[in-house]
Amino acid sequence: MPGGSPPCGAVVELPASRSKLRRSELPAIEVRGVVYGAPALVPARANTYAACVSEKPRIEAVTERQYETLLPMIAAYQGFYEADEIREDRNRDFFRRFLAPSDDGMILGAWSGAELVGYACMYWTFSSVSAIETVLMNDLYVDAGARGRGVGRALIEACAEVARERGSPRLEWSTAPDNETAQRLYDSFDVEKSTWLEYQFRV
């Protein structure tokens, strides 16, 4: 988000009729070979990001071939939150479980040409209160050189579309209270803010 992990952060209400993330307003975003936000009559393979929209990031599920390129960005995200120990070998093993197709989640990469400029990692999780599956956007990170160019917004919109595809009515995420830059982006969506507190018990 950068953000934390509990499913008690900001919530985007889905379907699109209750959200500003209306399908007609989203940029064309390709995720796992599917075009999100484009009119239904446009075939998925027709989304080639022509020159007229070349400034928009290309959003797609990270593949095994792209995985090593992602690892330094994951370490940068962890460094932003001052992780105690950042180990590439541990990250390589842990995040591999989210490469599509996965029963645990999905990692979306944002690309500007051949350059990775951001990523989002989602977990498939649940709400016991509502007895539904929800999608937790656990990580959202944009490279410092690409900030202010709509990359974070495009990743959030793509994550919301993935949630819709899975039939989940909610996309959830959280962030640090002092991350005011990220909060300005999040507050621009039609979201509900949680007042719940997060606890961690080291065992």
The structure tokens listed for 11 are 């919530």
In CATH terms, 10-192 corresponds, of 3.40.630.30, 3.40.50.10420, 3.40.50.1000, 3.40.250.10, to: 3.40.630.30
- Give me 172's structure tokens: 């959830």
88-120 confidence digits (pLDDT tens): 999 999 999 999 999 999 999 999 999 999 999
Mean pLDDT of the residues in the chain: 81
Domain boundaries, the chain: 10-192
Phi-psi map region of 130: left, alpha, beta (phi>0 left; psi -120 to 50 alpha) = alpha
Q: pTM of the predicted model, to two decimals?
A: 0.74
